[in-house]
Structure 1
């Protein structure tokens, strides 16, 4: 593994043992020197395997067990980062699930609760747990990996992008995540934090049973850009690699 210096930027990516999260870790560690990536994973063994794969490429990464649906797991992960590094510079809330059938049938209460538990409550609990460590950073960056399916503007347009896609619990969770991200952006704007929302697009991953049309390489690009923003860059934005998305 590449050496970690005292001024290395410490990055946590949740749900990073595969898919877009793994690709974000790979691109960030390979394209930017001085970034040490924590591969967040609900399954510790899978996280270790993912980290080992990137270490073999000479990248500065390590695994960190974290289940965003379990507050005890989140707190344990925060304590680990605190003891090892004393701060966190970048948090990428990437963990997410889809449980809707997308057949036009209503989603049950159980589906809504399980979806929000990860996509919204998990992102909120993780961010809250790491705020004390992000406050130790000289340039905190927080990225929420959302979806254009969370756009109210698109949903209100009968012929808008993916207007044929139902998925109420997933859509609602991503719209709620967007508001959550804006809440943090507002709260920490005065401290210079950059808090932004990234849409990876309809990317081919396990999340959609590999039915997506985009590549993980393209899906990760926007999140990587937002993770390394300069002090004069944007905050409170909702975008994809092609540019801004309407709210």
Structure 2
């Protein structure tokens, strides 16, 4: 009897936080999956992969910095050489550099220190560039480079998951009747939120591009999660990973072109 090939899934930014929990959950439940645990730092990636799978048979560390084209291309060459294909891509790597400004201001306020002035124009541009390089440009570049390998997917259908955020929803932001409107209508974190709104459009682009081929391309909202950049505030990363894992393991009857969390569809 011929054994079905394992499903190859790449998760970017997976050495910690939500990405790590996604890798951990897939490894725990889906024994027919081979996980490529993406990490910008090679040493941290090796350590994280070994923590999930000490045998090294089902979780493989792979170095990928989504802000570095050469790193993305090298990772794709490695996947092509070792596996010849990719079945699932989870674009999880992301940052919120505004959080550091927020926490810095909170700490100074607590200590009775003078507050910093707002970033000047040059600093503001740099903050936008840093966030978009990871959250949008990195996701787009990684997807483009790995499309040829996804086209060779052995598992059906190929799947792409973009890890977005409720904060990127224009509909929630502008609908007073939505239960999250009060929280989401606050004028906060414009850099992060706009980068995720842009990521949502990118999701719809790829969903349309591969609709006729039956690919499953979706965005997931993890909600506020206790990670390093949130300084531990939010729910456990394992809870935020649930819907991402679901989307990464969709079957042929699964949805595509949708924005969702574990409770269902989220309005764009």
> How high is the TM-score relative to the length of structure 2?
0.86
Instruction: Note if 1:156 corresponds to 2:174.
Output: yes
Instruction: Note if 1:185 corresponds to 2:198.
Output: no
Q: Secondary structure at the match of 1:92?
A: strand
Aligned to 1:244: 265
State which of 211, 217, 234 in structure 1 corresponds to 2:238: 217
Larger radius of gyration: 2
Question: For the structure 1 residues 224 and 197, does the alpha-carbon distance in structure 2 shift closer, same or farther, using more than 3 Å as the test?
Answer: same
Instruction: Note if 1:174 corresponds to 2:196.
Output: yes
**Is the 8 Å Cα contact of residues 29 and 59 (structure 1) preserved in structure 2?**
no
- Runs of 4+, deviation exceeding 4 Å: none
**Is the 8 Å Cα contact of residues 92 and 143 (structure 1) preserved in structure 2?**
yes
> How high is the TM-score relative to the length of structure 1?
0.93
Tell me the distance in 2 between the aligned counterparts of 1:230 and 1:133.
19
**Is the 8 Å Cα contact of residues 50 and 56 (structure 2) preserved in structure 1?**
no
Instruction: Note if 1:89 corresponds to 2:87.
Output: yes
**Is the 8 Å Cα contact of residues 49 and 56 (structure 2) preserved in structure 1?**
no
State which of 109, 119, 131 in structure 1 corresponds to 2:125: 109
Aligned to 1:45: 43
Tell me the distance in 2 between the aligned counterparts of 1:13 and 1:133.
14
State which of 139, 142, 152 in structure 2 corresponds to 1:126: 142
Shift, 1:162, TM fit: 3.0
Q: Secondary structure at the match of 1:64?
A: strand
Aligned to 2:159: 141
Tell me the distance in 2 between the aligned counterparts of 1:200 and 1:193.
22
Q: Secondary structure at the match of 1:201?
A: coil
Question: For the structure 1 residues 75 and 114, does the alpha-carbon distance in structure 2 shift closer, same or farther, using more than 3 Å as the test?
Answer: same
- For structure 1, the residue ranges without an aligned partner over 5 or more in a row are none
Shift, 1:126, TM fit: 0.2
Question: Which digits, 9 at most, give the CA deviation of each residue in 1:206-234, with x for residues without a partner?
Answer: 1211122x111110000000011110110
Q: Secondary structure at the match of 1:15?
A: coil
- For structure 2, the residue ranges without an aligned partner over 5 or more in a row are 106-117
Shift, 1:164, TM fit: 2.7
Aligned to 2:23: 25
Bigger Cα displacement from structure 2, 184-193 vs 54-63: 54-63
